[in-house]
């Protein structure tokens, strides 16, 4: 069954350099595009069937546009095609072929990249169409409303708009961003901890709920913009209070990190990464002992800074490492943590 021309679209994975769980609390984030990415080939079918094949799965998934999400790998594709239909980019289902090098469950936005690539492919079926920012907003709707993941907007904006060699300083409240050059002397090295996780497993939502409780208490959606005094003096339960302290200090660290990159002050950038990890570990409580050990080793072995990246509870760390030292550093790190593996590294041009 066919219903139109075949189109392809790409989206890269992203690593967040700093600014975790600030993107649904009115704050800043600093993601960067990775080399790992995916390509989607879309052929409209003219009926309501969604047929997805992927290099990561032996058997194709055959679903229908009317299907609810079922918590499996093809959900982002079904959700994206439903969204493409409601945006008028496509009429009916499609055959999708996915070729991806982004490891799933690693905090590198494999799901957002898949949704954005499907939406970009659907946009390519006709002339003009929505902007990349509109596609990012639509991709978040797929995660929030179809897949039931209460995520912010960082991943979708990063995979839709980030460009190689730069970090994206994104104000998630205003959806305004600037591109910050990455250092040429250092690499942002992405290492998988060996622990996979899913944003749908409930722990991300639990943190979001604690932030929501703090939002109700303070009467604002912008926890990141509260003052330290207001938070410290609040008569609020321990968990929401600590989550808020993380968000507002993390937001300040993003500003510090952007200024440090602009000034090519790598030491200050690394210090902000290290402080961010401590805050994620102790205040947001989104790390794990294995990840803390990996981050500690990364710094002990010579990284200027290192931290967990992404939604937490597993996935990857990112470390800022002098290019001249990277090879030895990596060899020693992986020898000490055999369950870890190298994924990618990004730097300035």
For ligand GAF, the binding residues (CB under 6 A) are: 16, 20-21, 23-24, 151-152, 154-155, 199, 310-311
CB nearer to ligand GAF: pick between 157 and 298: 157
Query: Contact at 8 Å (CB) between 255 and 288?
Result: no
CB nearer to ligand GAF: pick between 7 and 158: 158
Cβ neighbors of 264 (< 8 A, separation 6 or more) are 183
Closest CA to 52 of 24, 26, 73: 73
CB nearer to ligand GAF: pick between 183 and 311: 311
CB nearer to ligand GAF: pick between 104 and 325: 104
Please, what is the minimum distance in Å from the beta carbon of residue 348 to ligand GAF? 23
Please, what is the minimum distance in Å from the beta carbon of residue 150 to ligand GAF? 9
Closest CA to 28 of 185, 317, 224: 224
Please, what is the minimum distance in Å from the beta carbon of residue 47 to ligand GAF? 32
Cβ neighbors of 234 (< 8 A, separation 6 or more) are 217, 218, 241, 244
Please, what is the minimum distance in Å from the beta carbon of residue 304 to ligand GAF? 21
Query: Contact at 8 Å (CB) between 191 and 339?
Result: no
Please, what is the minimum distance in Å from the beta carbon of residue 220 to ligand GAF? 18
CB nearer to ligand GAF: pick between 240 and 310: 310
Query: What are the two backbone dihedrals, phi and then psi, of residue 3, each rounded to the nearest 5 degrees?
Result: -145, 20
> How far, in Å, are 21, 23, 75, 117, 143 from residue 112 at the CA level?
16, 14, 11, 8, 8
Under the phi-then-psi rule, with left for phi > 0, alpha for psi from -120 to 50, and beta for the rest, what region is 162?
beta
CB nearer to ligand GAF: pick between 310 and 348: 310
User: How many CB atoms neighbour CB 154 within 10 A?
Assistant: 30
Task: For tokens 């058997």, name the residue.
Answer: 59
Closest CA to 190 of 9, 12, 5, 68: 12
Task: For tokens 């912008």, name the residue.
Answer: 222
Under the phi-then-psi rule, with left for phi > 0, alpha for psi from -120 to 50, and beta for the rest, what region is 39?
beta
Please, what is the minimum distance in Å from the beta carbon of residue 155 to ligand GAF? 5
Cα distance between residue 298 and residue 318, in whole Å: 9
DSSP 200: G
Catalytic residues: 155
Say if strands 176-181 and 186-192 run parallel, antiparallel, or are unpaired. unpaired
Please, what is the minimum distance in Å from the beta carbon of residue 24 to ligand GAF? 6
CB nearer to ligand GAF: pick between 85 and 200: 200
């Amino acid at each position: 069954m066919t219903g139109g021309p075949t189109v392809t679209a790409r989206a890269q994975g992203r690593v967040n350099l700093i600014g975790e769980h600030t993107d649904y609390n009115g704050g800043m984030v600093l993601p960067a595009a990775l080399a790992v990415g995916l390509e989607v080939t879309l052929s409209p079918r003219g009926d309501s069937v969604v047929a997805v094949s992927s290099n990561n799965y032996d058997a194709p998934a055959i679903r229908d546009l009317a299907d609810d999400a079922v918590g499996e790998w093809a959900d982002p594709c079904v959700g994206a095609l439903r969204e493409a239909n409601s945006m008028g980019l496509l009429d009916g289902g499609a055959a999708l072929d996915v070729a991806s090098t982004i490891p799933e469950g690693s905090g590198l936005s494999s799901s957002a990249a898949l949704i954005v690539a499907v939406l970009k492919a659907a946009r390519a079926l006709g002339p003009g169409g929505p902007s990349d920012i509109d596609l990012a907003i639509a991709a978040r709707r797929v995660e929030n409303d179809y897949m039931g993941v209460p995520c912010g907007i960082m991943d979708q904006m990063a995979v839709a708009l980030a460009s190689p060699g730069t970090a994206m300083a994104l104000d998630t409240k205003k959806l305004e961003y600037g591109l910050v050059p990455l250092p040429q002397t250092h690499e942002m090295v992405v290492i998988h901890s060996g622990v996979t996780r899913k944003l749908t497993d409930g722990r991300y939502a639990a943190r979001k709920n604690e932030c929501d409780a703090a939002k109700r208490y303070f009467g604002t959606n912008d926890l990141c913009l509260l003052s330290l005094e207001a938070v410290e003096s609040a008569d609020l339960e321990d968990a929401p209070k600590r989550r808020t302290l993380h968000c507002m200090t993390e937001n300040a660290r993003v500003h510090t990190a952007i200024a440090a990159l602009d000034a090519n002050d790598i030491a200050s950038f690394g210090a902000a990464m290290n402080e961010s990890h401590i805050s994620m570990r102790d205040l947001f409580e989104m790390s794990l002992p294995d990840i803390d050990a990996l981050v500690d080793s990364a710094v002990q072995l010579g990284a200027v800074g290192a931290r967990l990246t992404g939604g937490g509870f597993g996935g990857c760390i990112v470390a800022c490492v002098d290019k001249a030292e990277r090879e030895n550093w990596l060899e020693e790190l992986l020898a000490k943590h055999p369950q870890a593996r190298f994924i990618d590294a990004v730097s300035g041009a």
